[in-house]
Chains A and B, each alone.
Chain A
Amino acid sequence: NAGVTQTPKFRVLKTGQSMTLLCAQDMNHEYMYWYRQDPGMGLRLIHYSVGEGTTAKGEVPDGYNVSRLKKQNFLLGLESAAPSQTSVYFCASSSPRTGDYGYTFGSGTRLTVV
């Protein structure tokens, strides 16, 4: 059971470049999330999805877009990367409709924007 898989694990971008982070889960979870983690600030929610074809903004959505075309995949896009987007990005999934509110996290993508 792979759980939540994130690709790539590391990436260096130049300012203004674009990229897509991929998250895949094999647990049939309805909800999926993208968080960013910065030193001393914990995890901040970027966007989330409560089901295939639906997305919603979180606490820090500016500069990011997401898509959930398939239940098992949640993509995070950066259209024009900025140094402020240097961070570690975590994808997570959960199944609150079954009464389980705990998240399963991926191992993260470390992004550096220069």
Chain B
Amino acid sequence: GQQLNQSPQSMFIQEGEDVSMNCTSSSIFNTWLWYKQDPGEGPVLLIALYKAGELTSNGRLTAQFGITRKDSFLNISASIPSDVGIYFCAGQPEKRFGAGTRLTVKP
């Protein structure tokens, strides 16, 4: 099946810093989705991308659907302690998820 590589695996940053994470695929996806998971909870959808080249923002979050349709990135600006969690990318229609990026924010 298609491989979905997410990096980095983990990040330790200072409050106020910007964060960038990305996902790459061995094949083309039609849709990229970014989720956040808080401890003990299920993932929650942050941003959905449906077109190659699309750049979408949700507050301090910005995500882009790569032109080749094989990659996507998520940026978080001016991080705050509540940004802590695991961030997942997912591709459709293959229903696959990346392994996640665990974000730790130090106050």
A residues with CB within 8 A of B: 4, 33, 35, 40-45, 48, 58-59, 90, 92, 96, 100-108
CA distance A90 to B26 in the complex (A): 26
Q: How far, in Å, is B27 (CB) from chain A's closest CB? A: 15
Known: A33-B95, A58-B95, A92-B42. A42 touches B100 (CB 8 A): yes
In whole angstroms, what is the CA distance A90 to B90 when docked? Answer: 15
B45 CB within 8 Å of chain A: yes
Check if B48 is an interface residue, CB within 8 A of chain A.
yes
Contact indicator per residue, chain B 36-55, by CB within 8 Å of chain A (1) or not (0):
00001111110010100000
Contact of A90 among B9, B42, B92, B95 (CB under 8 A): B42
Alpha-carbon distance A102/B90, docked complex (angstroms): 9
Given contacts A43-B43, A59-B1, whether A102 and B97 have CB atoms under 8 Å apart is: no
**Cβ-defined contact, A101 with B48, below 8 A:** yes
**B33 CB-CB contact with A under 8 Å:** yes
* Cα(A102)–Cα(B6), bound, Å: 19
